[in-house]
A and B are shown apart, each in its own frame.
Chain A
């Protein structure tokens, strides 16, 4: 665990970079969190995914897997990997301030 400041708010991150308290997240944090993942700019498509991930997390208790994202977020699997090359569910979860989704598909 480590403590750091994102968008002027002090937050705790897990060892693999996930926000410990999802409720602390604000939209202002996203660009900075994205830069840490090597994503310089968040396009509207990125935001669609981020908002969807948060709503799924608060609705279902866990973030969606890549398959679920591809089926229901409105963004195809192909596009997801173009937006978040290093693993859409994992990276988008970090940027969206929710825990890593668990799931094998």
Chain B
């Protein structure tokens, strides 16, 4: 019992710390990727390739003046960012990152806790996340904030339906609500993944589109459309309270990506069994990356590359070597596949932000109710019929 509490606390600290770092660096990745899509360098002054930019941003946000406008509804105004960030971080507690591992003699799952209604828990928590934005918009006592809050609540209620229906289809196939067992049913080869189960790519596409809308990302970022609403629901927020909304958005992005990975892409399972050498993929990737980076550093195109590239190359080679250590493989390989899949979907989020323009508001609602909802409904019906016919 005592060791259970201690292990749980350690796991919570590790996951929380990793999540916070990822949140900060996801924003750096986003700025860099968007910048390269738009053919500009992006952040590169603070640290090599702008790598210390997130740290600088954190310091900036903490030391900024924390302003509470005199005309706001104070209690709700202060509670809203807290609610948003809490609900966003809460869903990570049930997400499994890997299988059972042995750490210093203790066997533990790479997951904070497994609920046998994990999927419902995440849906419930994400439906509570709306209040953070809605109440922020209302309590700010500002017409732009109010409109942003209204838009976001309408959008999130509408897109929650196709999202839940899209989730239901792979759940029917896997026949469980536990995220851990969900992954177990997709073990083995790639075609066991729910994505490649017949026509399940339809549910995957519906899930991704609805997920974009739920996280208020481009092309569904109407709640914070800056050309009509200034900054939308967080117009009146400054300093760390603004940062909480920002972090909540990125945490929600991570949750949606993790859910897509677990539901459709087989979670931490490799695309093909380890017997056929899937264990050497991360080694190969990191080794190639390391060698390329070192070679680029030795033949620099820009002057500073000579100093910045070799250290990264060495780090990549060391990481590649770590993946070869047999004792660490059981933990690192699942983690690698989970991060690779989640990262691919996160990249999709950023890619689409750099590519697509914003919806008009009536198009947004019309799309949810007239296109996405019927498609998700028919897909669920067809999935149910197919399963009933073949079982």
Tell whether A pairs with B: no
Q: Taking beta carbons and an 8 Å cutoff, which residues of B are in contact with A?
A: none
